[in-house]
Amino acid sequence: MAGGITTLDLRINGEQRVVAFPTHHTLLEVLREECGLTGTKHGCELGECGACAVLVDGRPVLSCLALAAEMKGRDIETIEGLQESNELVPLQAAFADLGAAQCGYCTPGILMTAKALLDQKPDPSRKEISEGLAGNLCRCTGYHKIVEAVEWAAAVERGENREYDAETLWGATEPGLETSLETGPETPTDGSTD
């Protein structure tokens, strides 16, 4: 450390990276500004929203509150490290398929927190998922789809062959209408055209 600049060899997403940064910078600032890993979002900067959550040694950490200078020898994982080759992991696929992400700003933090939860507890209850994600705020959703997506991803990761039904993907149909995945809504069964 010289003149307020720290140089560290950080392990980020399985790769060693030598990074120089002002000693007072948070892990969030270093990830975004020095490493170009902008998937981790800058939200409240107070540790209240969870948008900046990353995994440090497998545990969720609010990167806006963690000093980068304290990360020597730690294993840091960001949302960019979640993807495997060109395939989405089950969590990402479930969020996309079930509409759990709307504007998407909070999604990286939620995905990283959910990953830590599933790594610790592969078969969580809805209550455990809700409690595990309690530090992550989303202004767009009612959280139902987020919890549902984590449930689906957990089942897939356990090797269960789960398929989405039409109601899960698109919601309940209007009474009296039948829905087909291939053709969409059909005409009412009572012959009316309303």
Can you name the CATH fold of 90-170? DNA polymerase; domain 1 (1.10.150)
Q: In this predicted structure, what is the pLDDT of residue 182?
A: 47
pTM value is 0.83
φ, ψ for residue 39, nearest 5 deg: -65, -30
Provide the 3-class DSSP secondary structure of residue 186.
coil
Q: In this predicted structure, what is the pLDDT of residue 1?
A: 45
Instruction: Collect the ranges in the chain with pLDDT lower than 70.
Output: 1-3, 164-172, 174, 176-194
- CATH superfamily label, 5-81: Beta-grasp domain (3.10.20.30)
C-alpha dist (Å) from residue 123 to 131, 132, 150: 14, 13, 10
Provide the 3-class DSSP secondary structure of residue 19.
strand
Domain ranges of the chain: 5-81, 90-170
Taking alpha carbons only, the member of 112, 111, 130, 109 closest to residue 48 is 109
